[in-house]
A and B are shown apart, each in its own frame.
Chain A
Amino acid sequence: MMRSLASALSASNDATRAASDLVAGFGDTDARAIVFFCHHRLDGAALSQALKSRYPAAEVIGCTTAGEFTESKNGRGGVSAIALGSDKVRGVAGALARLKGGVAPGMQQATRALGERLKVDLRAADPKRYVGLALFDGLHMNEEAANEALGNAAPLLSFVGGSAGDDGEFQATHVFHNGQACDDGAALLLLDVAVPFVISKTCSFRPTGTSWTVTRADEAQRVVYSLDGKPVLDAYAAAVATTPARLDANVFMKHPVGLMIDDQPWIRSPMRALPDGGLKFYCRISEGMQVHLMESTDLVEDLRGALADAEKRLGRPFAGGVAFNCILRRLEMDAGDLHTPMLRLFGGRPVAGFHTYGESWLGHMNQTLTALWLA
């Protein structure tokens, strides 16, 4: 009997060998959609072309990473992937959005193509039947505008995903679709799903009780200058019981800020203190926003809770999924030896994911795991 969902992993950074490993891992899966996540030294365009040639009925998207994982293994340097068969997806459309000429027009062109290929009006499409995956270039700071463009084209549909990485080098990231590559764009997949599905979003933080209103920010550069009218570095450092001179990556990782939506934090992680007194984030924060100082909780237990909640909403155990895990969570997992406990939570069911430079669902966020879970 053909499998309808299969994950695969290759430790090779040679595209031909990696494709062969993935095909072996997929076995007899009747693939309609393939999503892969590969090391930036691997030729992702060649890999996606090889997979498209082997599975001509499938749409193939992928991106480079800051590490790859399946339900059974976490690694850096190879590729993870998942194949969705026709029992899971009735229809699928893929597109590559090139954003050098402008984010809005590039995303508009790509989303229009998705709708045309699936013969569906994205504004009227049933959000319980259609779902999107979105892989963004991770270095051009276009994720907010790209997510807004997705919201303008299809306000009620979910596109879940993450930002491509290059294993912490911060030089170039790529997204792929059916043999094409782009270093300044997005790879999109729209699925007409044949089974129940849910989106989940989890982070390991809770609000401390301290909150501020952002009173000055450079939104385009993702820099905040003042909170409640006070210099941001003074206000933030005082809240975490240190001085501006002692703010470093360790403090930032433990104490990001978050927007609270329906009692859930949407995390914005500080990147570094700037010489001009600003605090640069990995995510845009607008003037007027109320942000809450966060403190760490238990990453594994929070994921366990998120998966239980996803299964409650699904009404049954999930059969598999695609997960997007922040590189800052990966660093915490590296330090705490948490990869194995995390993978165990997937219970051996097919999962493919990668460690990202940012996560997406309705908007852009940090220090989060976003995922699509299929029944």
Chain B
Amino acid sequence: VEGLNQVREALTRLLNDDGKFSIVNSRLILRTGVNLRSISPDQDRNASVVNKVLQALAEMGYELGRTG
């Protein structure tokens, strides 16, 4: 996974439901401050931010990969 936009796309495919995405995204914002619906350019490819998001999602049971 190279950036947060890829993370958002993968999570959208996995959940396949806008309501479910909203719930998981809200949990993510409260845990990490990152909103997958509003990714800033400086966040998108920031490895430490991407790692933080991937780790939080993995803890919730959504294994989406690793950063390069």
Interface residues of A (CB under 8 A from B): 123, 127, 147-148, 151-152, 155-156, 158, 214, 259, 261-262, 266, 286-290, 362-364
Q: Contact at A262–B22, with CB atoms within 8 Å? A: yes
A155 CB contact (under 8 Å) in B24, B30, B32, B35: B24
Which residues in chain B, 22-60, are within 8 Å of chain A measured between CB atoms?
22-27, 29-35, 49, 59-60
B30 near A362: Cβ-Cβ < 8 Å? yes
Give the distance in Å from the alpha carbon of A266 to the alpha carbon of B27 in the complex: 12
B29→A259 contact, CB < 8 A: yes
Verify A362–B23 contact, CB threshold 8 A.
Answer: yes
For A290, the chain B residues whose CB sits under 8 A away are 33
Q: Which residues of A contact B24 (CB under 8 A)?
A: 155-156
B20 interface residue (CB < 8 Å to A): yes
B61 within 8 Å of A (CB atoms): yes
Query: Of B20, B23, B25, B61, which one neighbours A152 at CB under 8 angstroms?
Result: B61
Tally of B interface residues using CB under 8 Å: 19
Q: Taking A151-B60, A152-B61, A156-B24 as given, write out 8 further A-B residue pairs in contact, using a Cβ cutoff of 8 Å, ordered by the A residue number.
A: A148-B27, A152-B60, A158-B23, A266-B30, A286-B31, A290-B33, A362-B26, A364-B30
Ordered by A's residue number, 21 sampled pairs between the chains whose C-beta atoms are within 8 Å are: A127-B20, A147-B30, A148-B31, A148-B59, A151-B59, A151-B60, A155-B60, A156-B20, A158-B23, A214-B33, A259-B29, A259-B30, A259-B33, A261-B29, A261-B30, A261-B35, A262-B26, A286-B33, A288-B32, A289-B33, A362-B27
- Pick the most buried of B24, B25, B30, B49: most chain A CB atoms within 10 A of its CB: B30
Residue of B nearest to A214 (CB): B33
| CB-CB nearest in chain A for B25 | A261
Report Cα–Cα, A368/B36, bound state, in Å: 24
Which B residues form the contact surface with A (CB < 8 A)? 20, 22-27, 29-35, 49, 59-62
Q: For the complex, would chain A's binding face be called helix, strand, loop or mixed by DSSP majority?
A: loop
The smallest beta-carbon distance between A128 and chain B, in angstroms, is: 9
A261–B59 alpha-carbon span in the complex (Å)? 21
Report A-chain residues with C-beta under 8 Å of the C-beta of B34: 288
Residue of A nearest to B29 (CB): A261
Output the least CB separation between A152 and chain B (Å): 5
A123 to B23, CA, bound (A): 13
List the A residue with the shortest CB-CB distance to B57: A155
Q: How far is the CA of A261 from the CA of B60 in the complex (A)?
A: 19
Set of chain B residues within 8 Å of A158, measured between Cβ atoms? 23
Please tell me if the beta carbons of B33 and A123 are within 8 angstroms of each other in the complex.
no
* Closest beta carbon of chain B to A229's beta carbon, Å: 14
For A148, the closest partner residue in chain B by CB is B31
Instruction: Select B27's contact among A151, A259, A262, beta carbons within 8 Å.
Output: A151
B27 / chain A contacts, CB cutoff of 8 Å: 148, 151, 155, 362-363
A288/B26 in contact, CB under 8 A: no
Tell me the bound Cα distance from A262 to B37 in angstroms. Answer: 9
Chain B residues whose CB sits within 8 angstroms of the CB of A364 once the complex forms: 30
Rank and list the top 6 A-B pairs by shortest CB-CB distance, nearest first. A363-B30, A289-B33, A155-B60, A151-B27, A288-B33, A152-B59
**Selected contact of A261 from candidates B20, B26, B32, B49, CB within 8 Å:** B26
